[in-house]
Structure 1
Amino acid sequence: MKAIEKYLHGDVKKTIRTDGFCSDVKGSYVIKSQSRIILFFVLFFAQITNLVTAQDNKYVWFFEKGYTESDILYKPQDYIEQEKIFDDLIITAPLETNVLSPVNGTISRFQYTYFNSLSSNVVFGEKPTNYKADSLLFAKQSTYDVKFISVSISIKTNDGKVIHISGIRPVRSFKTGERVKAGDIIGKIGYFYNKISKPAIRFSITEKEKPIDPMSPFGLKSSFVDFKAKEVTFLSKEEANYDFDLFIGALKEIMPDIYDYVSESDFEKFVTSKKEELNTQVHIRDFERVIVNTINIIRDSHLSILSQSYSNKDPYRATISFGWLNDSLFVTRTTLDNSKYYKRKISEVDGISADSLKKLIKTYTRSAGGYVVSVPEFALLTVGHLDYFLYGQNAASDHSLNIKFDNGEIKYFEGIKTSPGSCVPLFPDWKEFYLTNRYREKYLVDSLDKQTAYIGLSTFELNEVETDNIESFIREISQKEIPNLIIDLRNNPGGYASVLSKLFSFIAQEPFYLGCYTKVNKRGGYEYFSHSLNDKDNTSILFPDYHKMPDRNGFYKYYRNEIQPDTTTNYKGRVYVLTDERSFSASTDFAGLLKKYRRGVTVGRETGSTYHQLKAIRFTNLRLPNSNIDIRIPMVKTVFDTVVNNTFPWGRGVLPNYEVKLTLEELAYENGDTILNYTKTLISENKYIIEQEETSSETVSETTNKTKQAIAVATLLLVVVLIVIFKTRRGKK
């Protein structure tokens, strides 16, 4: 386990809100006075690094001849027919001119694409190798104009930005994860888009998934416009209602099946009640709460607010935190001078009973997808106090608290005003818990002992080099016949389905399927794209491969490709998969495959995402024009399984075979890694009970609530008919 601890680090991308007092776990590290000499040298070398980076900021131009003004066909704010260019630089050169990498970096994407519009493209599964050979294959199999099928390549730079280039014809194959240098040949120029007759490549840059200026890194005068939102304090009645109506309209047009977990009638009643709250001037925080409530009632974890919360700008912090555990309210952390109150049971907060306060907080606590229980329970325990300060009517603006304990003692805890970016240290700090399964290299492979191997996956966003390394490890432990393998998916937000299926093929013992179908509301022509930050084209077909089905709303794409177990690398021993409330998306799917095909056991807690379906793949980022709130709306519904039974209840995450209840002791790491330690105990005691395949189950349709209602009505009618027949026969006798 020393190897596992060695690779833990503090650069954590949070998947769900964790700590309101220190904005991230990294902030809890303290450099002590004894380390000042080390700090001096760290800062000294950082300065040198910054100088080198500054000199490296100017990108290399794409062609060996260097830059000429005539290279640029289109730049930001130009139009291609009716399509406006916002963050792209489109460049031309003679056909098959060598294209150079502008930067040093790592390949993160390398695949064939065809662009239907500037905002929509089709991705092909074929690995780019040699363009002439590949184009002959496309000519035989594809319905698209082969001339405009080209490679899209993405390169992650050393400073975290990602550059994207499309329109390339490959001269060799690249693995994702492979390093390239500025000036390396990455392909030849081809044809990027069927509305551009000249050979062209498309170039853009993103930072933290947001587009940034593509021109200034080359030293060019830029036409890029950064649409930064202005801060708002109050909305008029008209402004608030306009934004709310726009949000509801966009949800109904863009997001498939918003009534999966709430009936249409209940949703409309909710909308009406919220509009009644917007009958006068409203503070931006109150309007934001209305949006949060709306997101929560739909119960989809991928529908979320992107912009910084107006409620997060409060400079005050409380000196204790509280949360609910097993329906009781406890002090969960304190400042050092209040440590005697740690784990004390609370009966009232500011005159509100613990039960009444829980009902209030549950209204605003960020819900998980569907009916997942683990995520809201985790939020109530770890950040319930934050929601109180955001939404509680009795909450003091300076975060002071009047607490009544279960023994009758009343204690006043004064809030503290902090400077921007600072925090109030609370103890225990939960640092180690939040860093569980977070590794610098995104994964860790290790041998715990002669009987057990460990693979920790911080994400499924692994490149080919990283995936190959994991495959080599699995092949090695297979050859050594290590009997037990632990795969850790805790605190894993998900990632690529291709990586998921490949990794599962290394342990699968029979063919398996990943998914059934995907669904969208429309193939294109989304009216609300006029308010989107990343989708501006509301005329083009975005989903050409989706088709209408008889008697069903929306458009569908069915796929049921059988995936075979890997024949070269295949582990046959026992598999223990660790999950918790922070195992999302692809992590849920992996754990689901494990249970569905009875390939191993899961240990820990229910996953954070629903098993049967999720809404993701493609998103539009909607900006509400008056409040300047940005909302991410998923556009594609993916259905992985339609069978509902006791193993996979409808709307729930993947439930563990061996459950480990969350406790304050686990959060504080009082006994080390609770779930991992429990798993090691299971292995030592030879416990490995796999659920048997259920013989009775039901199939859920894509309109589950309506189907269940129809079944209930039909059953009732059948009972009535039988009663009538029975009474009629008795009357005749």
Structure 2
Amino acid sequence: MTKPFIIHLLLLVNSVYAQSNIELKPGDTLKYSPQSQKPVWVTVQSSDANVAVALFMDNKKIKEQDDSRGIKSIERLLYTPEKGKKYEIKIWGKSYIEKSKASKISITESKNVPILNGQFTPAQFVEDLRIFRSIREQANSGLYVYRSKQQIDSIYQKAEEAAANSKNIFDFYKIIAKVTGFEGSCHNYTDLPNHASYYLTQGPEYLPITLKNIDGRLLQDSKDNKIPLAAEIISINGISAKEIINRFSQYYFSDGYSMPYRETTGFERGMLDKFYIEFGTHKQYDIKYQWNGRIDEVTMSGISLENFKKLQESRHSLTLDKKLMAEKYSFTKEGENRYRLSVRGFDFATGKEDPAYQKFSVFLNQMMDTLEREKVGNLIIDLRGNTGGTGALYEKVFSYLTQRPFRDSHYAYTWFNEVPMEEKLVITPLFLSNGVKDKNGINAYLKQLYPKQVQGKYYWADDKNTSILPNERTFKGQIYLLVDQRVASAASHLASLIKSYTNAIVIGKETVGGYYEHNGHLPLVYELPNTGIQTGFSIVHVIQDAQNLPDQKKGQGIIPHYEIRTTLQEFLDQSDVYLKKVLELQKPTNK
């Protein structure tokens, strides 16, 4: 990596410190020392790179931020110095357009920050939509898996009419987010170039409560609030809870037609941005709610974005989630003759050569030692919250659960092995971390893995999709599989194998990842030239090694045998209702 640049020279303009036209090459890091002695906003802006920033106090990192996704990105930090402390900001490029060689960076310190207000013409929106469609028609092998060409043509016709009438970037973003979700892939991605809050008011106009969707009911999720915790929200500013859930779901994407993730995740991940794109900010909120069989209505003043962030970060429902997600993987005793293997992600190792993979293999062997020594009859596989990662890790887990050989997929293919529309391709951190710096590196990778063309499709090489043998020691007792709506990608792939080829009793919610197939393996990201909106998708269509089951239809995630529903009291207590269900179902086993 090139040695970091240290920025010393600053210009004082209208009480604002500023430095502009600093060159940043891929791989470089800039160091910047804030000048103000009082609280200010530090704004870092790039003309042609997605930048990330980190704030250090006395050489210790206290905050890292990458709010904006686009190449013309902006990062804002509220800098509040303490007397006697030394501060430094580091800035580096995270991604860039394939043709770019270097980027220009500007840094400012100011008491206030302006609202972003990019002006675009209807013609520019329509042009970006047409490019958006062309990208997907040339590169997205999942485009016609769940939708016919006629359906795709129809939605684009309506989208183009709406784009021609768009007034601002939010209007246009809503249109292409809806089209993105229509395709049916949880790996799809379309987002604004900059964080939505940068386009919104800086005043106290944000929602004074947080929300949680529990089985289609919107519950008040903030402690010490005017509205009781767990009160059911009926409407906000006249918009019904059902409509809020429905409109909010359009910003989140799933494999096929699965809806639980789309309808719930926004209230966990999108309340800082997507909520206000759809419903706007307001000085006052009229909230109708139900509590103890009674309907009440209250008017509450909006709060600042910083205060809303604090509400969201301290919401009641995080209690159980923090407990669940405390470790990437664990093995715990859960009562008489019952153990639980929890895996919260498959992103802790890059492959079989990674030392973290070897450590995980040792962990699984030790798990088998315990199960065999104690003659355990019941094993819970807990995948809740697992959004996927490295295929070798899920394969390793399944090798301890199956008595039959298996493969990653029946087959997998792309539509190309040379990247189309490379002039709009974004070189992402995933590529950079693997030494790939341009389209040539990506093309070399594709030609190695997908060399064989048959009727316009490039198939995964047979030597990369080999048969995987069961481990010498496999668990032969009763399996309970816990899944929720967040389970995706490699985790849903594992869940489909477990449901398909073991005696597992599946408990939870339909997963966001598909049972029979999904688009995965390699994500590409493109940037639209006018708005700077980025859109991406995984380019490989994977037909999974899962057998047909009567309760699994095309386009569904993994369907549980027992769907979990949570009572108000269980929500208040943050009870683990999944484990309670296992206890209820467990059959006595003779040792």
1:482 aligned residue (376, 389, 392): 376
Amino acid at match of 2:512: G
TM-score (structure 2 length as normaliser)? 0.70
In the TM superposition, what are the counterparts of 1:648-667 in structure 2 within 5 Å?
A: 648-667=552-571
Q: Kindly provide the amino acid, as one letter, of the partner of residue 548 in structure 1.
A: Q
One-letter identity of the residue aligned with 1:596: S
Please give the alpha-carbon distance, in whole angstroms, between the structure 1 residues aligned to 2:571 and 2:106: 37
- In the TM superposition, 1:583-602 aligns within 5 A as 583-602=487-506
* Contact map agreement 2:218 2:241 (CA 8 A) in 1: no
Residues 458, 490 of structure 1: 8 Å contact kept: yes
In structure 2, relative to structure 1, the CA distance for the partners of 1:208 and 1:513 (3 Å cut) is farther
Q: Deviation at 1:555?
A: 2.2
Question: Which amino acid in 2 is paired with 1:303?
Answer: N
- Note closer, same or farther for the CA distance 1:353–1:504 as it changes in structure 2 (3 Å cut): closer
The answer for the alignment partner of 1:625 in structure 2 is 529
- Read off the aligned partner of 1:438 and give its amino acid letter: M
CA distance, structure 1, for counterparts of residue 281 and residue 214 of structure 2: 26
The CA deviation at 1:242 is 2.2
* 1:435 has 2:322 as partner: yes
- Contact between 2:208 and 2:302, CA under 8 Å: does it hold in 1? yes
1:403 to 281, 287, 294: 287
1:332 match: 220
Per-residue CA deviations over 1:622-647 (Å, capped at 9, x if unaligned) read 12222222222221111104754423
Structure exhibiting the larger radius of gyration computed from Cα positions: 1
CA contact (8 A) 1:398 1:416 kept: no
What's the offset of the Cα at 1:452? 1.6
Q: Secondary structure at the match of 2:187?
A: coil
CA displacement at 1:595 relative to structure 2: 1.6
Shift of 1:484: 1.7
Query: Cα distance, 1:520 vs. partner?
Result: 0.6
Within the candidate set 304, 313, 317, 1:417 is matched to 304
CA–CA distance in structure 1, aligned partners of residues 509 and 459 of structure 2? 33
Deviation at 1:355, TM superposition (A): 4.9
Query: Aligned ranges for residues 127-526 of structure 1 at < 5 Å?
Result: 210=94, 225-226=102-103, 233-279=118-164, 282-305=167-190, 310-313=195-198, 314=200, 315=202, 316-322=205-211, 329-334=217-222, 336-340=224-228, 342-344=230-232, 346=234, 348-357=235-244, 359-362=246-249, 364-379=250-265, 389-392=275-278, 395=279, 397-398=281-282, 400-405=284-289, 409-419=296-306, 422-424=309-311, 429-440=316-327, 442-461=328-347, 462=349, 463-526=357-420
Deviations 1:373-418 (A, max 9, x none): 32124247767977884354xx452363223457664322221124
Counterparts of 1:525 and 1:510 in 2: how far apart (Å)? 37
1:332 to 1:386, Cα distance in 2 relative to 1, 3 A: farther
1:660 Cα deviation after fit: 1.2
Aligned-partner residue type, residue 403 of structure 1: I
- Cα distance in structure 1, aligned partners of 2:308 and 2:297: 32
Residues 266-323 of structure 1, C-alpha deviation per residue, up to 9 Å, x if partnerless? 2222212222222256312222222211211112110113666542444542123456
SS at match of 1:513: coil
Alpha-carbon shift at residue 454 of structure 1 (Å)? 2.0
Tell whether 2:584 aligns with 1:681: yes
Name the stretch that deviates more: 365-374 or 413-422: 413-422
Q: What's the C-alpha RMSD, in Å, of the aligned pairs?
A: 3.9
Q: 1:228 to 1:665 in 2, by over 3 A?
A: farther
Kept in 2, the 8 Å contact 1:605–1:655? The answer is yes
Against the structure 1 CA distance between its residues 272 and 590, is the aligned structure 2 distance closer, same or farther, given a 3 Å change threshold?
A: same
**TM-score scaled to structure 1, two decimals?**
0.57
The SS at the match of 2:310 is coil
Q: Which runs of 5+ in 2 are unaligned?
A: 5-24, 29-59, 65-90, 108-115, 350-356, 429-436
Q: Distance in 2 between matches of 1:518 and 1:436?
A: 37
Answering whether residue 556 of structure 2 is matched by residue 672 of structure 1, we say no
| Contact 1:369–1:651 (8 Å) recurs in 2 | yes
- The change in CA–CA distance for 1:397 and 1:467 in structure 2 (over 3 A counts) is same
| Cα 1:521–1:665 shift into 2, 3 Å | farther
| Distance across 2 between alignment mates of 1:408 and 1:600 | 43
Per mean C-alpha deviation after superposition, the further-off stretch among 553-562 and 289-298 is 553-562
Letter in 2 for 1:333: D
Closer, same or farther: CA 374–663 of 1 in aligned 2, 3 Å: farther
C-alpha contact (below 8 Å) 1:484/1:574 kept by paired residues: yes
1:671 Cα offset (Å): 5.0
- Decide which of 555, 578, 581 is 2:482's aligned counterpart: 578
- State the shift of 1:517 in Å: 0.8
Match of 1:682, as an amino acid? L
Q: Secondary structure at the match of 1:297?
A: helix
Q: Structure 1 stretches of 5 or more lacking a match? A: 1-55, 60-85, 90-157, 162-206, 213-222, 688-733
Opposite residue 489 of structure 2, the aligned amino acid is S
How far apart in 2 are the matches of 1:275 and 1:529? 23
State the percentage of identical aligned residues: 19
Are residues 331 and 665 of structure 1, via their aligned partners in 2, closer, same or farther at CA, if it must alter by over 3 Å? Answer: same
What is the match of residue 542 of structure 2? Answer: 638
> Structure 1 residues 302, 344: closer, same or farther in 2, change over 3 A?
closer
Partner amino acid, structure 1, of 2:264: F
CA gap 1:650/1:519 in 2 versus in 1, 3 angstroms: same
3-state SS of paired residue (1:473): helix
| Whole-angstrom CA distance in 1 between matches of 2:105 and 2:177 | 22
Cα pair distance change 1:633/1:208, threshold 3 Å: farther
> 1:702-713 to 2 correspondence within 5 Å?
none
* Counterpart AA for 1:366: Y
8 Å contact from structure 2 (residues 288, 295) kept in 1: yes
Question: Structure 1's 591 and 257: CA in aligned 2 closer, same or farther, altered over 3 A?
Answer: closer
Is contact 2:342-2:382 (8 Å) kept?
Answer: yes
* Aligned partner letter, 1:681: E
Q: Deviations over 1:50-96 (max 9, x none)?
A: xxxxxx9979xxxxxxxxxxxxxxxxxxxxxxxxxx7479xxxxxxx
Which residue number corresponds to residue 564 of structure 1?
469
Which deviations, in whole Å up to 9, do the C-alpha atoms of 1:324-359 show, x marking residues without a partner?
A: 6555x544324524133742351x432345555555
8 Å CA contact retained: 1:460, 1:496: yes
Q: Distance in 2 between matches of 1:279 and 1:505?
A: 53
Q: Give the Cα–Cα distance (whole angstroms) in 2 for the partners of residues 335 and 236 of structure 1.
A: 45
